[in-house]
Amino acid sequence: MLRARAGLISSLLLFIDVLASALVFAFAASRPELRLEGPVNEAFAALLIPGLVASLAWPLILERLDLYASQRRNGLERLLGQLLLAGAISMALVVLALSITGAPVRPAFPLVFGAGQFCALAGLRIAGFGLLRVFRRHGRNTRNVLVVGSGSRARHVLHQLQRHPEWGLQVVGFLDNCDSPHDQRIPVDSIYKLVDLPSIIRSQVIDEVVVACPRSMLGEIGPVVATCATAGIPLTLLSDLYGDYLPPPQVTRFGSLAALSFAPVHHSLSQLAIKRLLDIVGASVGLALSAPVLAAAAVAVKATSDGGVFFRQIRCGKHGRPFYMYKLRSMVSDAEQLKAELMVENEMDGPVFKIKDDPRITPVGRQLRRWSIDELPQFWNVLRGDMSLVGPRPPVPHEVAEYETFDRRRLSMRPGITCLWQVNGRNDISSFADWVKLDLEYIDTWSLWLDLKILLRTVATVLGGSGR
């Protein structure tokens, strides 16, 4: 029932969003404490255009974010992040409209309206999101999926759908060019020939076709694509077809042709701009708050060991561009010279050097590292634009020189003070491949919400004294 009326539900959601936005704006405008003194009629006339902007901005932004389409395969965190973004943009547009029209409202009006609008619309959307997931777990609002392939990739699709019953997706069969499945865990009686697709569409309800075949079959799926296009059935091609390290694709144009662009990152320019703004604000606040700690630590470093207070080292930034990274010195002054003698004790594989009980670390340095105080000067690197608050840790040039080609993709984003690796047990990760995997996961799934979660986990890690 719900599946058949998906278009009607989307239209209904759009109407509810417009109506709810208008009601919240009208309620805020009716509050005397949020308006300036003057005739009520004139105030409401001046608020007409901002009210129209408030009623339409949020729904139009949600439409742009594709939130009126099915969200069955998206998580709650992604939905919440998009709703927060929509709320922030909507409130900014309302502030602009209020400023242009000179509406007689107090400064608190946009905040009250924005908070009320977010609570009303996001609350309804999240409640509906949760209710639909409950329905799907109980076998309602389901969709039928046909998988092309019967090997390990097809088995992975089946496993994912079984792990997520809240998606409401059921595999009804597998298409292949053989009589028996390549993966023995796939039932033999669920295998169909590629040429059987037209008859399957006529005899069964197929809502989506997922291509999860090996590369060797790509030359044979042309008729499958053509049949799906003719019958109006959505077709999904998994982007890991050419390897696990391939970044998520984005649909672009190559002249008159549609194309898939596998760029290292497909991040929103507006969100990256917000990330940079947050970096500047966060680094400024961080330097101001940590100044007394830095001063005390600098005195302790200078008083207990020979050498300078700060350690300056060339690191590789975005795309490998070199820059000087600053830290409080936590090792003996000739640490770099002693490194060659300690290489046999390296606990990390690959090009990275790390020893849990590094003898080069001074007693004071050990405490600085435990509480991550030695990292505080990097707020200056963030202000300069060399680094970000959150991002893959910047490597040294000789490590980058030993990178395999696919390792270099971790350099496709501005490096950071903290990252997924640091909040996922950095002391317990001894594999460089696992380190790279976490960095690529961050790059491929980046959002402002993810940055906030990493920062909060970093604070917890630092306060727990579980640094190096």
* pLDDT 10s digits, 364-376: 988 888 888 999 9
Q: Boundaries of CATH 3.40.50.720 in the chain? A: 143-243
* CATH H superfamily, domain 143-243: NAD(P)-binding Rossmann-like Domain (3.40.50.720)
Nearest to 391 by CA among 415, 422, 375: 415
For the chain, what is the mean pLDDT? 84
Whole-number pLDDT of residue 37: 61
How do the pLDDT tens digits run along the chain, 468 residues long? 444 455 566 777 888 888 888 888 888 888 777 766 655 556 667 778 888 888 888 888 888 887 877 788 888 888 888 888 888 888 888 888 888 888 788 888 888 888 888 888 888 888 888 898 898 898 888 899 999 988 888 888 999 999 999 999 999 999 988 777 787 788 888 889 998 899 999 888 899 999 988 877 878 888 898 998 888 888 988 876 666 556 667 777 778 877 777 766 667 777 888 899 899 999 999 999 999 999 999 999 999 888 889 999 999 999 889 999 999 999 887 777 777 777 767 767 767 777 777 888 899 988 888 888 999 999 999 999 999 999 999 999 988 988 887 788 889 899 999 998 888 766 566 678 888 889 988 988 898 889 999 999 988 888 776 555
